[in-house]
Structure 1
């Protein structure tokens, strides 16, 4: 009972931290360009995680060995997930608003179903297909059918791209976890993401002004690097370790809830009926996948 309680607290905090990213980044993006913010976030997160990784290895007196294909896999995870997905998340949030960013990217678990079929050879089921249809419909409702195509429309599509690429990341992380710990995967994938982001960050700064005189911007960047990146990943992995995966994944929905609430509270964003309808469809889709996974797990244990 105590183990489940600690796990629930860890997962709730992690998902809430991710939900706050959309609100914090929405403010910071008024002063810092999107890719530059991603770069700063990774610099801080990597230094923190690398120190933690080395301390952990020294404590266990064990060093991990890497093969060429391991580096390629970690590089791919860093590129598709921490570089492409996070960049899309920040750019999409800048063009839309905080609660839309939190909501659309919450469709990620349903998109995992598609990639798991082709990468992990997991079979399609009626429940999985229905989940994808519901989640996709929810995204369409949130984006809306607008005849006037502007920044909000394109920002929403970019956020869809963030959800899809993060789902692809999740599948390849599952492959990598067969050899490495979550801490190792996250640390070195972020290192690759830092490398991939550096050229784009330098190019971006040529045409954008970076404001560093605002103390709230500086504190926000530090928060994104240590708390919302390094800390959230650690808490999420710890929580999933303590709880069943099917039950633990339900806490992912603290992300859009917190993101929407903070967007309303701090940024004066409005939550219209379109947001709630689309959100309900996304929640229904992901719950179907979660319930199915939990059911399969219980059956396999009984056998």
Structure 2
């Protein structure tokens, strides 16, 4: 029971951090090309994670990696931290933060689906009801008046980001049976650096990079340390502690918190839909968590 509650806290924190990330990334993307920003994120995150890994890991706890282990970590780094995050940043660049929050909130549905086939988790009525209730809440909070028609390609790319992040969440849970979450996150980010670097260099040949703004630099540091190193670890740790289909529901905190930060930082208005939809989201999470935490 204790682990399930702690897992719920980790997942809630991670999704909440990502909820505020759209505001920051949308601003920074006006100065830094998307793939270059992804690379900056990962370099900063890897430095932080590797440092923590080394000071917390003794010689007795260091793992010996087999060839298949590197393949699995490389796959997580590729499909999740390279493909998914790159698509998320490109999609946000081609659309807007509002559309990004709405479309990527489809991720939990994909996690439930992939967990059924990859992890052989049961697809219960409780999960489906909770997913439906929380999805209704997201639609109420974010609304249906997004500009998906005006941002067709951006919207399509964001759907790809949702699908690939769901795959990441499932394979991280699979890998957690062998490695610590800190190890998985650190080395998967390292692989993502190698995948991203060539495209970032190519991107800079035709795009301008402007780092002469203190807010841009602070935004990059936030995205690297908090939204990447911190939130990736929290999300992976939470998914390790809970059934993937249940843990996926906490992703819905992202648009809820994103709307709140839009009100707090950008002066956007919060109407009754925010509170009604937020209640639905919390109800969906409550449906599965109460069952999961019962002794």
Q: What TM-score range do you get, normalising by the shorter chain?
A: 0.7 to 0.9
- Which residue in the other structure is 2:259 paired with? 260
Which sits farther off after the overlay, 156-165 or 250-259? 250-259
Matches within 5 A, 1:63-78: 63-78=62-77
Cα distance, 1:62 vs. partner?
A: 2.1
Distance 1:124 1:245, change over 3 A: closer
Cα distance change of structure 1 residues 294 and 120 upon mapping to structure 2, 3 Å threshold? farther
In the alignment, the residues of structure 2 paired with residue 259 and residue 295 of structure 1 have an alpha-carbon distance, to the nearest angstrom, of 28
Q: Is the 8 A contact 2:134 2:249 kept in 1?
A: no
Partner of 2:228: 229
* Cα distance, 1:217–1:146 mapped onto 2, change above 3 Å: closer
Residue in 2 aligned with 1:295? Answer: 291
Q: Pairwise mapping of residues 17-166 of structure 1 onto structure 2 (< 5 A)?
A: 17-58=17-58, 61-126=60-125, 149-151=149-151, 153-166=152-165
1:67-105 CA distance string (max 9 Å, x none)? 111100111101110011111111122222223323332
> Structure 1 length normalisation: TM-score?
0.79
1:42-63 C-alpha deviation (Å, 9 max, x unpaired): 00000110111111113x7421
- The RMSD of aligned alpha carbons is 4.0
Separation in structure 2 between the aligned mates of residue 285 and residue 115 of structure 1, nearest angstrom: 23
Secondary structure in 1 matching 2:50:
helix
User: Does the aligned pair in 2 maintain the 1:112–1:167 contact within 8 Å?
Assistant: yes
Deviations 1:244-277 (A, max 9, x none): 9898766543321121222344345677999999
The corresponding residue for 1:206 is 205
Normalising by structure 2, report the TM-score: 0.80
2:188 corresponding residue in structure 1: 189
* 1:35 CA displacement: 0.6
Q: Which secondary structure state, in structure 2, belongs to the residue aligned with residue 31 of structure 1?
A: coil
- Displacement of 1:231 in angstroms is 1.8
